[in-house]
Structure 1
């Protein structure tokens, strides 16, 4: 029985310059700092207590936080991962720092660190942004993977995620009414490619475009519309080579009867229906290194016909 993921909770990012990362989150994204120490700053974007954590650390140390229902689900995840030769490590000290009841961490075959958390806190008072960017919340995370096929199989078979669509070898994965919450992109290195925030509408996407347009090389993709999710998007540079995106609109699905996933070609036209220029290899069909030789999940072979 697959372990159910309740919610995408947060992204944790190491940074070479904690102060600069904090200024970017507040001034550019409009997030509100809620926990601040000499070595770590957490930012809020919605009802979650926080959705982004910056830590003074090696910039390659990154993780995503996913919520599971209870301790029994966490133990089931540990057992299922162990059967695949993957260790889930319980970390009490980190759980206290993340303000969750329990936490177990593991690394996917493609090199991404994942933190499974139990009962993360929400905030009772409504979110009030640092800047009125129109943020509605953490929407999705795009991930670099050195073995997309193995990571895709893990998320489908152990955690019950569904494939929304494929673009080339990139996989868009969902578990609720959104088209996707995670996307896996072939890359020579593992980690967070882009942190995506929902905004109120296309106006806020275009406002960010005009805000950043005078800044050389700030915009890396967009504005555009994704054929897979039908989201309007703008992707732009952030600290430590992590990208950020504002997204609006988008395709909703019935989780109990999701549509058949589609296979799109790997070229740039499959990543943007408007034809916007893209400077990110993982987002326009270029891959920095050959894909790992893992076999695709059997599901994919059936759906491709």
Structure 2
């Protein structure tokens, strides 16, 4: 096997929250995600064919986690061996933890920036067509933006250990891909820790603007955009979510069917947004 872990797909995000009821209302009423399961301690939301792509968990001590799918149990065992060899403490999921995540198996490890990575096998798909509570035009979970180490040292975990490829840099912020999308992970050097933004694809520019009007009408706090990312050519719009995590709608964007060299853009506002839109997010200023 390869000396890097092969990620098949970004699957879900799990977020601990200080207000489960309020967070669930935000995900449904503001974002337009479909509530598919609700327990006393968790709320699960769909955005596409996956059983769920966002879970809010009661209590900030539940932390933050990102789930990635691996091909099979052999790939998971190989990944665990590589992680341990790189000095990471790994935690296999027991039967209860697997049931909560709706996967057959998983192994988790903690990143230095304060969130967990969960490598999962056989996550549940949904046999039902996705249908949100409003016509937000959502096509699926697209990407995650992360607050990384100020010296960008944690990016090597994504590229050397987890098999990601850098598509572009803006300053020391890296846009990292695992498939043909320009990026699935963006790592922004920061003095803060944790997940910066969870990004959902929408159909086109009309839906980006339609959601902008909806957010303003709902008195949600727009943090960034509408705009177009210089590196990926994605249209984007970001809104403040619960517990310091932003959420974005994105559309269009470069696809990399064949490899190309990673480009270096200067750390200037116009490198984050070609339209010159305002931002309230320090990592994008």
In structure 2, the residue matched to 1:57 is: 59
In structure 1, the residue matched to 2:177 is: 174
Contact 2:30-2:215 at 8 Å conserved across structures: no
Show structure 2 runs of 5+ residues with no match.
none
In structure 2, the residue matched to 1:266 is: 267
TM normalised by structure 1 equals: 0.89
Q: Compute the RMSD of aligned alpha carbons.
A: 1.5
Inter-partner Cα distance in structure 2 for 1:216 and 1:26: 15
Q: How far apart are residue 57 of structure 1 and its match? A: 1.2
Inter-partner Cα distance in structure 2 for 1:148 and 1:113: 20
2:81 to 79, 85, 88: 79
Alignment of 1:33-182 (within 5 A): 33-58=35-60, 61-92=63-94, 93-146=96-149, 149-182=152-185
In structure 2, the residue matched to 1:287 is: none
Inter-partner Cα distance in structure 2 for 1:159 and 1:264: 24
In structure 2, the residue matched to 1:275 is: 276
SS in 2 for 1:149: coil
TM normalised by structure 2 equals: 0.95
Aligned residues between the structures: 282
In structure 1, the residue matched to 2:229 is: 226
2:6 to 4, 7, 12: 4
In structure 2, the residue matched to 1:23 is: 25
Deviation track 1:59-95 (CA, whole Å, cap 9, x = no partner) reads 6711111111111111111111111111121021211
Inter-partner Cα distance in structure 2 for 1:30 and 1:213: 14
